[in-house]
Structure 1
Amino acid sequence: MKLRFSLLFAGVLGGILFNACSTKKDALLNRNWHALNTKYNVLYNGNLAFEEGREQLNTTYQDNYWEILPVERLQVTNEIRLDSEDNNPNFQRAEEKATKAIQKHGMEIGNEERNPQTDEAFILLGKARYFDERYVPALESFNYVLRKHPNSDKYNEATIWREKTNIRLDNEELALKNLKRLFRYERLKDQEYADARASMAQAYINLKSPDTAIQQLKIATSYTKKGWEKGRYLFILGQLYNQLGYKDSANLAFDKVIALNRKSPRVYMINAHIQKIQNTPITAENREAMLEYLTALETNRENRPFLDKIYRELAVFYANADQDSLALLHYNKSIQATANIPQLNALNYEDLAGYYFDENQYATAGAYYDSVLTNLPENTKKFRNVKKKRDNLEDVINYEKVVQYTDSVITLYEMPVSERRMYFENFIAELKEKEEAARRKEEARVTAGFAAFAETKGGKENKGKFYFYNITSLGYGKNDFINKWGERTLEDDWRWSNKNRIRTSEASGETDLLTDAQGGEELSDDQKYSVDFYISKIPDQTQVIDSLRKERNFANYQLGLIYKEKFKENRLAAEKLEKVLANNPEKRLILPSKYNLYKIYDEAK
């Protein structure tokens, strides 16, 4: 009897469950069964995958603090994606779960959806597509909710997400119109109201209306319950005030970001400090206080991840105070501390390039401009400007080499014989001193290396063996050969003097004094330490010196034009043109030099 009753009960229960699984029957049991399975099974796992995807985006996304931040943290690649392509496996899984919930548990009966959880499935589907940068399919998902679930408690959320998608599709005017309608006819929760206002702010930023965007962001900041959103919105407010030129209002917004402290991500607080510093003019009265401010940021252990930006601000501070050595030190520290922030690297390299350009070290400046270019996107105006400056610098480098060479030769030619001899005696003494210091340093290095090797197992095993079997002796002999003869290729006639390489100055590119000016060969020891040899290389023919003077004047004239027209460096241009006129120039250079000087001084009035 009990068995029969159990079988009967199981059969009835199975029939009820089988009947409840149907998506074609609009019964209370069917609706609740599918709603329960949708919410606590498929959608639950889908939402978990979606949140993991967003967390991954937040950890990998890098904001560009040198431009107005987007209201929403989302890396946009501007790539056209197909439905089959995935950007993030977590978003793909969330989309799969949402699709499964719709296909398996959807109950569209009589052109009306009867499963109350299907709207959430479509919203999840739309959000997964949105963060996967497939905005048109995302728009379809949100529109489906608004069309099929007009009485849903998720109606406002779906509307806000639809308008965020419209903004991504550059339909800002439509998004603003729909959001204003939402405010007029619907009652929103505080967080929904904040999200809608923030979306409107982004639309106005895109439409180049920062003043209206400020009003929307103020409202969003007041209503949001999320600390990270409040910090981000306040920081963007400060940026917008800066864009409009309202430095005091910007600093008030940045002060509010700083006051949030741990309620908001620290990255906003540090950048707020930096923006405040940049907004504050350095004067004699506040210079010491500003240095203390920057030093406090530098020494705070919690700011270690942001030292690259702090070092840069210290470098700029010292550069403005004409403390060049400290400025260079902190620029280099900023570069070393920078972790994959190309915008910061580009700024540091550009400042260093400008410094070396002003110091007339043009080859070094050119190398830094090359580094700037590697940190800039190629299709930007900034890249094109720096590239043009770098190309123009090639002419500067070549003409400056001519000026330096001709100046040196003419200066030596014009020296009295006694001064000329004294100059080369001092040069030779300095050369010997440097070579002796280098020799002692190398000997100490080799001795220390062999001493350390002798204590190892390999060194002890080779002790007392034939020369070519003794690693220690062989290594010492090899180093002694290199010190005496330099690096030599294994070939016939290896002792010939023209096998040596010509040494050049990296900073100026000039041929070294230790090479034969005519043959391009490295000098022998007798020549290297002979005053008479150097003196004999100075031209003594008037026509040669006159030719060098003409070369120098023409190079200075060309430099003056380049500085004036291409670099807008009127001070340097004037110096070069004045030198042309002061050194008995050819007639063809006099009139254009005077005309360009007139234009320069006229602009300076």
Structure 2
Amino acid sequence: MLCYFRNRPFLLLTVLASLTGGLVSCSQYSTKPISKGYHNLTAHFNAYVIARDQINSAEQLLFKTRQENYNQLLPILLPVDSTLAEPVKPQLDDAIKKASLIPERHQNSKWLDNAYVLIGRARMLKQDLPNAIEVFKYVNTKGTDENDKHEALVGLMRAYVEAGDYPNALNVAEYLRTQPLNKANTRDFYLTKAYLHERKGEYATAAGILDATFPALKKGEATARLHLIAGQLYDLIGQPQKAYAHYQWVLKSHPSYDQSFYANLYAIQSNGLTGDQKRVAQSAETFENMLNDRKNADLKDKIYYTMGLLEARNGRIDKAINFYSRSIQEAGANTSQVPYTYLEMGRLYFEKKADYVKAKVYYDSAMALLPPQSPDYAAIQVRKKTLDEFVQYQTTIRTDDSLIHLAQMSPAALDKLVDNVITQREKEDQAQAALAQQIIDRASGGNVSTVAGATNSNLPPNERWVLYNPVALSQGRQDFTARWGNRPLEDNWRRSNKEASEAIANASSPLNGASAANAVNPNPPLQQPDATNASASSALNETVASRKAQKDALFAQIPFSKEAQLAANQRIENALYKLGKLYKFQLDQPADAIQTFEQLLTRYPNTLQKPEVYYLLHLSNEQLAKASIWKDKLLSEYPNTSYSRLVGRAVAQTTDSEAQAQKVYADIYDLYKANNVTEALARAENALSLFAGTQLEDKLALLRVILVGRVQGIDAYRQAMNEFVRDYPGSKLLPRVKEMQAAADQPTAKRK
């Protein structure tokens, strides 16, 4: 070949010139066909295909390794999470690097827009949402291919959803709805829009959009998952027939084993809601088959949980609780189902049995294990707080009542009672110690225990659970004794603020101030004990000291003095008041509220909360459609309180009432300007009762607030403003009152 060119120098020069011109024309800014063809080819195979395959592979891996919580509504699209994406982060970074070669070296390539879309997708998967949004916006603004621009807009909508910016996501969706999308963009648009509405809690819209998407989807695990979600959505909006149909479609879409398992469980639940008795009757056989299937050995807790749900929906509460308990027993090491089972048990005790003490126990257990990202976590936390307060108030009432009763007993009877309590406690402690020793003996003997489940005694001692590890137990006992001494078995033994009353103890207990021997014989013969007697004497002294410490602790809690009894009664009064409000507002139990408030008035007729209690009794009886005397008592005994104005507020007022209110207001205001504030306040108090419900009521109430400040001082002024905020939340004067509150809270030197 070289000889050929040597013999033809002119031809050689021609070829070299052509090659040089071709290379010059391959500039990335050239629009010549050869240049564009070169850059299209290079950009496609050297950058775009590699980056696309890496991102697709990362998405497939994230889908394959996803952790589904089937106790909650599954997300239509897997939410982006930088932590979960950590294993594929190098892959995504390399994809961004490869895709970035196209805008750097191949500006005239037709793959430029596609490269930016890939960069946006990769950044979104890394949860780098601000940069992803900017990239997608750039494609929509600068892109040349309409399909690529639509793909970028779908990505932009997804990024807005992940960022929680739903208004902007809806704006993008509304624009895309009017565009002619190709099949791939239509599919992705529908899925993203359904995901948006699901995130917003608009389940009916999300389910409808999913239904429109399924014809464009191929059978497979991803499609089976979407059918499962559609079934969940229809269950949530009360359409179990449609939900059941989607659960059946799951089984036809090549699902994973977990998907088919939960589809069967959800289908049974939907049958329970449809009222199809034939299918409901078949569910018992289905449950039996599922429980006997060896593949479901680690899923029995889910099966029993579903059985409990069906029983609860059919009103068989006790059977439901039994199944829930069985579900917890079958959970084993996998506790993912357990918090939701505790939650359902708590709901049954709360809503069906009104057993708030037991409900609190189950809510406590549920909250200890429930993931904080659960959708209803905040609502459950609020209910748990209500139950905590309920148990606290009940415990306060019961405990202080019992202590006051003990204080009224004779010293001899009280001392005998306390001795019996301590003896009973010692028996219980001995029984617990014997059980613990039994567990230790079985564990150290190498046997598999059947008490509280199988032990791990076959493991080395340092790997055993502490209760099955005698070495750890012995060491722990020694460490405890070295630090705290030989403490008696009692609750709250670490408290350092126990008040000891030696006078009460000496008057109540024959053991104080003398040993057990001296209590029998004041002058026992002195003798040198042998080793055995010394050991027995030491043990006896230790027992006596332990009982004395326990008695002192119990006596210290009893309110013998008038001051202590007054404090105990104050705690009971406050607890009854708060418990009644809890029944009325948080628990919606007006009958229990009435009983609690009436008990409060009976025991403490001079309570400072009487006007509000009258008002709440009136509301509670009104809620039960019962006639009562509380409204009349409130109006007659406390006519000038805000509660009287609330119950006296008329539904409508006549024109004459409005005109009369205007005149009365003007008269009171004239008195105020004339500095006759005492008379003005008295008239304002009376006018508020007479003209409740008029358009001038809040204005009159504000004038009263100002007058209270002038006549009664700063504390009454603050209270009056608080009452205004509470009684007139919709008033146009509210901002002014809040400004007045802020000014009242400033230091005196700064006030005008």
Contact 1:553–1:580 (Cα < 8 Å) also in 2? no
Match of 1:72 in 2: 77
How far has the Cα of 1:421 moved from its partner? 8.2
Match of 1:570 in 2: 589
Task: Give the Cα–Cα distance (whole angstroms) in 2 for the partners of residues 168 and 501 of structure 1.
Answer: 62
Letter in structure 1 aligned against 2:603: P
- 1:124 paired with 2:118, answer yes
How far has the Cα of 1:242 moved from its partner? 3.8
Structure ID, larger Rg: 2
Instruction: Give the aligned CA root-mean-square deviation in angstroms.
Output: 5.9
Task: Give the Cα–Cα distance (whole angstroms) in 2 for the partners of residues 265 and 214 of structure 1.
Answer: 22
- 1:250 paired with 2:237, answer no
- 1:45 paired with 2:50, answer yes
**Worse-superposed segment, 127-136 or 553-562:** 553-562
Task: Give the Cα–Cα distance (whole angstroms) in 2 for the partners of residues 480 and 223 of structure 1.
Answer: 66
Match of 2:147 among 152, 156, 163: 156
Match of 2:730 in 1: none
Letter in structure 1 aligned against 2:121: K
Contact 1:91–1:128 (Cα < 8 Å) also in 2? yes
Task: Give the Cα–Cα distance (whole angstroms) in 2 for the partners of residues 97 and 450 of structure 1.
Answer: 64
Task: Give the Cα–Cα distance (whole angstroms) in 1 for the partners of residues 475 and 91 of structure 2.
Answer: 63
Contact 1:335–1:345 (Cα < 8 Å) also in 2? no
Match of 1:259 in 2: 252
Match of 1:165 among 111, 136, 156: 156
- 1:503 paired with 2:506, answer no
**Worse-superposed segment, 263-272 or 2-11:** 2-11
Match of 1:459 in 2: none
Task: Give the Cα–Cα distance (whole angstroms) in 2 for the partners of residues 5 and 275 of structure 1.
Answer: 81
Provide the secondary structure at the position in 2 that maps to 1:162.
helix
Q: 1:200 to 1:448 in 2, by over 3 A?
A: closer
- 1:330 paired with 2:331, answer no
Task: Give the Cα–Cα distance (whole angstroms) in 2 for the partners of residues 572 and 192 of structure 1.
Answer: 59
Task: Give the Cα–Cα distance (whole angstroms) in 2 for the partners of residues 481 and 210 of structure 1.
Answer: 55
Contact 2:228–2:247 (Cα < 8 Å) also in 1? yes
How far has the Cα of 1:400 moved from its partner? 0.9
Contact 2:400–2:569 (Cα < 8 Å) also in 1? no
Contact 1:50–1:90 (Cα < 8 Å) also in 2? yes
Contact 1:366–1:390 (Cα < 8 Å) also in 2? no
Q: 1:366 to 1:164 in 2, by over 3 A?
A: closer
How far has the Cα of 1:568 moved from its partner? 0.9
How far has the Cα of 1:92 moved from its partner? 2.4
Contact 2:247–2:263 (Cα < 8 Å) also in 1? yes
Letter in structure 1 aligned against 2:175: K
Task: Give the Cα–Cα distance (whole angstroms) in 2 for the partners of residues 235 and 598 of structure 1.
Answer: 50
Contact 1:559–1:576 (Cα < 8 Å) also in 2? no
Contact 1:257–1:269 (Cα < 8 Å) also in 2? yes
Q: 1:361 to 1:602 in 2, by over 3 A?
A: same
Match of 1:82 in 2: none
Instruction: Render the CA deviation track for 1:31-89: whole Å, top value 9, x for unaligned.
Output: 444333333332232223212321243245556667765543342679xxxxxx99933
Q: 1:518 to 1:593 in 2, by over 3 A?
A: farther
How far has the Cα of 1:176 moved from its partner? 3.2
Task: Give the Cα–Cα distance (whole angstroms) in 2 for the partners of residues 97 and 502 of structure 1.
Answer: 70
Q: 1:265 to 1:523 in 2, by over 3 A?
A: farther
Task: Give the Cα–Cα distance (whole angstroms) in 1 for the partners of residues 381 and 387 of structure 2.
Answer: 10
Task: Give the Cα–Cα distance (whole angstroms) in 2 for the partners of residues 20 and 588 of structure 1.
Answer: 104
Match of 1:461 in 2: none
- Identity among equivalent positions (%) equals 14
Match of 1:585 in 2: 603
Q: 1:543 to 1:38 in 2, by over 3 A?
A: closer
Contact 2:393–2:578 (Cα < 8 Å) also in 1? no
Contact 1:238–1:253 (Cα < 8 Å) also in 2? yes
Letter in structure 2 aligned against 1:162: L
Q: 1:77 to 1:429 in 2, by over 3 A?
A: closer
Letter in structure 2 aligned against 1:91: L
How far has the Cα of 1:337 moved from its partner? 1.9
Instruction: Render the CA deviation track for 1:408-455: whole Å, top value 9, x for unaligned.
Output: 88599999x99x989987995895486267358638846985999xxx
Task: Give the Cα–Cα distance (whole angstroms) in 1 for the partners of residues 568 and 143 of structure 2.
Answer: 83
Provide the secondary structure at the position in 1 that maps to 2:180.
helix
1:171-250 → structure 2 map (5 Å cutoff): 171-182=169-180, 188-189=182-183, 191-202=184-195, 213-225=206-218, 227-250=220-243
Task: Give the Cα–Cα distance (whole angstroms) in 2 for the partners of residues 572 and 332 of structure 1.
Answer: 37
Contact 1:315–1:329 (Cα < 8 Å) also in 2? no
Contact 1:389–1:567 (Cα < 8 Å) also in 2? no
Contact 2:393–2:575 (Cα < 8 Å) also in 1? no
Contact 1:311–1:334 (Cα < 8 Å) also in 2? no
Match of 1:557 in 2: 576
Instruction: Render the CA deviation track for 1:125-149: whole Å, top value 9, x for unaligned.
Output: 44334444333333245337842x4
Q: 1:145 to 1:236 in 2, by over 3 A?
A: farther
Contact 2:119–2:132 (Cα < 8 Å) also in 1? no
Match of 2:40 in 1: 35
Q: 1:561 to 1:11 in 2, by over 3 A?
A: farther
Q: 1:15 to 1:390 in 2, by over 3 A?
A: farther
1:333-482 → structure 2 map (5 Å cutoff): 336-338=333-335, 347-348=340-341, 350-351=343-344, 355=349, 358=355, 360=357, 364=361, 367-368=364-365, 371=368, 375-377=371-373, 382-383=377-378, 386-387=381-382, 389-390=384-385, 393-394=388-389, 396-397=391-392, 399-404=394-399, 406-407=401-402, 410=405, 428=423, 431-432=426-427, 435=430, 438-439=433-434, 442=437, 445=440, 449=444
Contact 1:369–1:386 (Cα < 8 Å) also in 2? no
Provide the secondary structure at the position in 2 that maps to 1:245.
coil
**Worse-superposed segment, 312-321 or 40-49:** 312-321
Match of 2:317 in 1: 321
Structure 2 residue ranges without an equivalent (≥5):
161-167, 448-469, 513-539, 626-752
Q: 1:360 to 1:270 in 2, by over 3 A?
A: same
How far has the Cα of 1:518 moved from its partner? 5.6
How far has the Cα of 1:386 moved from its partner? 1.9
Q: 1:145 to 1:127 in 2, by over 3 A?
A: farther
How far has the Cα of 1:182 moved from its partner? 0.6
- 1:23 paired with 2:13, answer no
**Worse-superposed segment, 519-528 or 164-173:** 519-528
Equivalences, count: 528
Letter in structure 1 aligned against 2:3: R
Instruction: Render the CA deviation track for 1:308-366: whole Å, top value 9, x for unaligned.
Output: 65554345456653144542342465595245xxxx67644544655599363588467
